Structure 1
Amino acid sequence: MNSSVSALPLSTLSPANEALTLRLPSSLQLKQQLPLTNTLTRQVAAQRQAVRAILNGEDSRLLVIVGPCSIHDPRSALEYATHLARLAIEVSDEMLLVMRAYVEKPRTTVGWKGLAYDPHLDGSDDMAGGLTLSRELMRDMLQLGLPIATELLQPMAAGYFDDLLSWVAIGARTTESQIHREMASGLGMPVGFKNGTDGGVTVASDAMRSAAHPHRHFGVDSQGHPAIIQTPGNADTHLVLRGGHGGPNYDRQSVARVHSDLTRLKIPARIMVDCSHANSGKDPLRQPAVFNDVLEQRLQGDRSLIGMMLESHLFDGCQALSPSLRYGVSVTDGCLGWDGTEDLLRQAAIRLRAQRD
């Protein structure tokens, strides 16, 4: 993978109180450099519709967003995607598996911000190279037949990837942001809003209501110019439960309470459970227990539970950034390894088939 589009300097080193500015390629330029074929464009449209059908109850399959917490190594991510693509076909009668391809990471204070920001993992922040590498990697995953999911953290970056994606997350830290709600209202794919870090769902409920409406807002067009963006509103949103400071919120009582709150607000009760973060106590090896608990709720008739999210990589755990990284191990949140993920999803498919039979 070559990063041939580079940032252009607009100024030399500035006084200490001024920022250094580098010009990035526009989203249009990058899309022209790394275009989608007509076949892939039709594939993305079909995959988006498949996700919508699950949200709307027209498809009874389980939606599963699964993959690394963040992608830092394209080679191991593509190896993971190859495994997932094979499994996706095997379980396609009961589950729609969507590759989690997160190239931006929110930071509580400071830290590595993701492949799109710092692809060399060395603080050089080659964002032009990162955007190119991220788009190329996502396109390679699409060519394996996988739907692609990501969290859109920086609205200005969304235009570099929006034609590749079948599902988007708005994270717990940004669900309250008006800018992200405006962005979601103009996206052409389903969007999951996570509950706030306090564990409450009011912020996410407000976000879904806001995103469903048209907006006019400040933005950037495909050529990189400041623009007034007019959005049509996005009806294809749903809630993602990820727990909070008070602990998990995937249990039956919590889900029933959330279902009641959404119904009262006249918001479709479409709930995904993030099996990581506070729901697993930040222990990646507890994700299967969370997944199976939610699956049991669904098997017992709770159709508001439309899907789950898993943080998963080739190998269990996580590692700190260093000059000698272990292959296939996350550098951000801990992940469940591939062997455990594959077994979990295969067993889930067996249980879902048994109920159907």
Structure 2
Amino acid sequence: MSFKFIKQLPIPEKIREQYPLPEALAKLKEKRDAEISDIIAGKSNKFLVIIGPCSADNEDAVCDYVSRLSKVSEKVKDKLILIPRIYTNKPRTTGEGYKGMVHQPDPEKEPDLFAGVIAMRKMHIRAIEESGLTAADEMLYPDNWRYLSDILSYVAIGARSVENQQHRLTVSGLEVPAGMKNPTSGDFSVMLNSVVAAQQGHTFIYRGWEVKTNGNSLTHCILRGSVNKHGQSLPNYHYEDLNLLLNLYNERDLQNPAVIVDANHANSNKQYAEQIRIVKEVMHSRILSPDINRFVKGVMIESYIEPGSQKISDHIYGKSITDPCLGWESTERLIYELAELNR
């Protein structure tokens, strides 16, 4: 075999015992989970804003950013629920590049998965302690879910993972909202099939166990745009796209119809400043149509302290080392505008 077994990682239970979530923070998460779930289930008219860096590469900068979000959150809490993006796993289209904190706690050093599992848990706990906001992360590796299952309030399944059986079945056992992105091809049926699968209960193999799940009724769609055969980005956040997806939802027997619009990636053609215009258009669509207003539960925005992106070797504090992001000043202004537009 060409596999070289380096070291066996500790099971999630051991890591959770070593780095426990304090009881006060567990109660805070329970309250946040209920508030977020009520939005997906249509019991609350508040709007979700899932926002933060493309990749959480530096604990100090990430916690600084999330603490800034916390101050803004207090001012808009009657209209919006802010969920920080603390993404510690990064899918790479070609397999090259920075794969996230779980791979490299220090982006300039060699991969160390043992240290990475610990680093991502410590950062998530610190962020909650300093901000009072529980976060979202992407489930790139289903087997890693239990390292963070007592911490996260939202989970995203990426465009390259949404057709994967293990992702779908694992989501069926989650008790928090999980967003299924459309695949890079843009096929809505693939995304909806993933929601159908995750909303049902299953019996399958997970971490060497035979497990049984009850289904996750809070599983929903995320629109992130697509890429055609020529490599061109095609947006899918327009009024017509939202209406089409709603009609497709209505053809299926699904619980809690809901969609989140990802304003970056193929929707913006990775032109990060376009996110401002895109989320405003989404809010305008919600104003035009009561049905779309009920259907679109939130937006996803890539944002950090400094605008744009940098090379890993540049060492600019609070600037993305993966996809370019909005800077803090634009972010703060946009959040206040979204609160005004949530009607």
Task: Report the TM-score when normalising by structure 2.
Answer: 0.94
Superposed counterparts of 1:20-169, under 5 Å: 20-109=5-94, 110-143=96-129, 144-169=131-156
**Any unmatched runs of 5+ in structure 1?**
1-15, 221-225
Task: Supply the distance in 2 between the matched residues of 1:217 and 1:123 (Cα, whole angstroms).
Answer: 36
In the TM superposition, residue 299 of structure 1 has moved relative to its aligned partner by 2.2
- Hey, what does 2:307 align to over in structure 1? 316
| Shift in Å, 1:128 | 1.4
CA change 1:264–1:24 in 2 (3 A) is same
Among 186, 196, 201, the alignment partner of 1:214 is 201
User: CA 1:219–1:338 in 2, change beyond 3 Å: closer, same or farther?
Assistant: same
- Secondary structure of 2:299's counterpart equals strand
Structure-2 separation of matches of 1:342 and 1:56: 27
Deviation at 1:232, TM superposition (A): 1.4
User: CA offsets, 1:10-40, max 9 Å, x none?
Assistant: xxxxxx8342331112211110111112211
What one-letter code is carried by the residue in structure 2 that aligns with 1:113?
K
Structure 2: distance between partners of 1:269 and 1:157: 28
In structure 1, the residue matched to 2:168 is 181
Tell me, in whole angstroms, the C-alpha distance in 2 between the residues paired with 1:156 and 1:258.
Answer: 30
Per-residue CA deviations over 1:45-75 (Å, capped at 9, x if unaligned) read 1211111100111100111100001111111
Distance (Å, rounded) in 2 between the aligned partners of 1:234 and 1:18: 35
Counterpart of 2:170 in 1: which secondary structure? helix
Matched, 1:257 2:247: no
Q: Does 1:273 align with 2:258?
A: no
Find out whether 1:335 has 2:325 as its counterpart.
yes
| 1:345 corresponds to | 335
CA RMSD of aligned residues (A): 1.3
Q: Is the 8 A contact 2:283 2:341 kept in 1?
A: no
C-alpha distance after superposition, 1:157-189 (max 9, x if no partner): 111111101110000100100000011001121
**Any idea what SS the aligned residue of 2:77 has?**
coil
Where does residue 299 of structure 1 map in the other structure?
A: 287
Higher Rg of the two aligned structures: 1
Q: CA deviation at 1:123?
A: 4.7
Q: Deviations along 1:311-350, whole A, 9 cap, x unmatched?
A: 000011111222x321111011110111101000112212
2:160 and 2:84 map into 1 onto residues whose CA distance is 22
Letter in 1 for 2:126: D
Q: Does 1:201 align with 2:188?
A: yes
Unaligned runs of at least 5 residues, structure 2: 229-233
TM-aligned CA deviation for residue 99 of structure 1: 0.7
Corresponding residue SS for 2:250: helix
Identity of matched residues, % = 33
Q: What TM-score do the two structures reach when normalised by structure 1?
A: 0.90
CA distance in 2 between counterparts of 1:18 and 1:115 reads 22
Separation in 1, partners of 2:325, 2:29: 27
**3-state DSSP class of the match of 1:306?**
strand
Which whole-Å CA distance do the structure 1 matches of 2:300 and 2:139 have between them?
Answer: 16
What is the alpha-carbon distance in structure 1 between the residues aligned to residue 72 and residue 57 of structure 2? 23
For residues 240 and 327 of structure 2, the distance between their equivalents in structure 1, rounded to whole angstroms, comes to: 30
Give the equivalent residue in structure 1 for 2:223.
Answer: 241
